[in-house]
Each structure stands twice: as structure tokens, then as C-alpha cells.
A and B are shown apart, each in its own frame.
Chain A
Amino acid sequence: DSGVTQTPKHLITATGQRVTLRCSPRSGDLSVYWYQQSLDQGLQFLIQYYNGEERAKGNILERFSAQQFPDLHSELNLSSLELGDSALYFCASSVVGTDYNEQFFGPGTRLTVL
């Protein structure tokens, strides 16, 4: 158990809908990262937050957004969902969020868009 929690574990929805994925980092970790894992794209970095502020962006679609709240939990919002958005979404946390930071991953949310 990494100490990172993600809810829900599974999510099934329809095209065009909007969903919210939630992540609680390990106690004491200030930085949260979101990654997407799909068969064709592999594991890809989406976005990073540090202590409430956006720090770095990867290949995140404009339909996707995230935020980190004062209690440090984070939410990833996916809107206007398409079939291709079906994937595993992982959250990871680390202490600082700069160099040499071990990142600990949650169990993921499996999103299925029908």
C-alpha cells in the first residue's frame, strides 16, 4: 500500500459526459501528479500540482482539467468524454515535487467510456 488513495476504482460512463476523479496524496506529500495509462499511449504524464499550484503540464487535453485543494487532495476533471479517453488514470504523490523525488502511485481509476 503506497498511502495514495484514489476514488472511484471503476467508472463507466457515456460519450459526452463529464467525470471527476479524486486523489488523496500520502500524508506529508505536497506534490500530486496525474498520469494516464492506455494500451496505445502507454503511461503518460498529464499534469502536476504542488501545494495548490499548477507546476507542470504534459499531454493533457483541453477537455481535461485538474486542481489541488487546501487539504492537498486533488481532482482530475474530464469533460466531453470520447471513446478514446477510456484508460487507467493514476495519481502519484511526492514530498517536494522537484528533483530526485520518489513518486508513489495510487491504485488508479479505470475509466470506461461507452
Chain B
Amino acid sequence: GENVEQHPSTLSVQEGDSAVIKCTYSDSASNYFPWYKQELGKGPQLIIDIRSNVGEKKDQRIAVTLNKTAKHFSLHITETQPEDSAVYFCAPSTGGTSYGKLTFGQGTILTVHP
């Protein structure tokens, strides 16, 4: 099965700084790479995703980059704000007989200090 590792496990930044979280996966058949944000007491919320035929995708202050050769993808948050504080999960997915099930990383606790 897919092995997913996420680093760092905790990240503390000052408001306005950038944050980068890296996710490494093992299954070369993975073809869909989403990032989820989970706030306390809530379900995971999809914030950005990328497909295997694309190297980078940006949505305002959030971007995701994919390196399929090295089997890792990263979440980049620029100009961080206190409301970005949450747990972030990567969750690569493989199609085929896995039918799109997500394999979650261990999570990164991001704290943005005002």
C-alpha cells in the first residue's frame, strides 16, 4: 500500500511569513494530490489539489508543487495569517482499483503568531 510521510509535524511562523509543508509518497501510480486543512472540531476541508500531469498550481496565497520523479509534493502558503493556523494533511490518491481513496499523511500543525 501507499506510504505517505509529511514534514514537518509542527510549524510555527510569524504572521506574514511563508510556510512550506512537504509530502513524500511511495506509490508511483498515485495521480491525484490534494491538501486538506482541518480546524479544531471540524472535518478536513480541501484547499488545493493537483493532478499528475501538472507541475504547479496556485490559488491566491496557496500553491502546490509536484515532483513526480522524486515522488513528493509540497504546500506553499505565502503571507500567512492567524486564520491559517490549523492542521494540514496531504492525501495522495491512486485511481484504478483504489477508486480514489485518499491515504493521509500524519498531519502538520501550523501555528501563525500575530
- Which residue numbers of A lie inside 8 Å of B, CB to CB? 2, 4, 31, 33, 35, 42-45, 48, 50, 55-56, 58, 90, 92, 94, 96-108
Contact = CB atoms under 8 A, between A and B. Distances in A.
Q: How large is the interface on B (under 10, 10 to 19, 20 to 34, 35 or more residues)?
A: 20 to 34
Contacts of A100: 31-32, 51, 95, 100
A44 B91 CA distance: 10
A99 B102 CA distance: 11
19 contacts: A42-B107, A43-B44, A43-B107, A48-B99, A56-B97, A56-B99, A92-B43, A97-B99, A98-B99, A100-B100, A101-B93, A102-B34, A102-B46, A102-B49, A103-B34, A103-B46, A105-B45, A105-B46, A107-B42
A48 B46 contact: no
A90 B99 CA distance: 18
Contact of A106 (B43, B91, B95, B96): B43
Given A42-B107, A43-B89, A98 B100 contact: yes
Interface in B14-31: 31
A99 B89 CA distance: 19
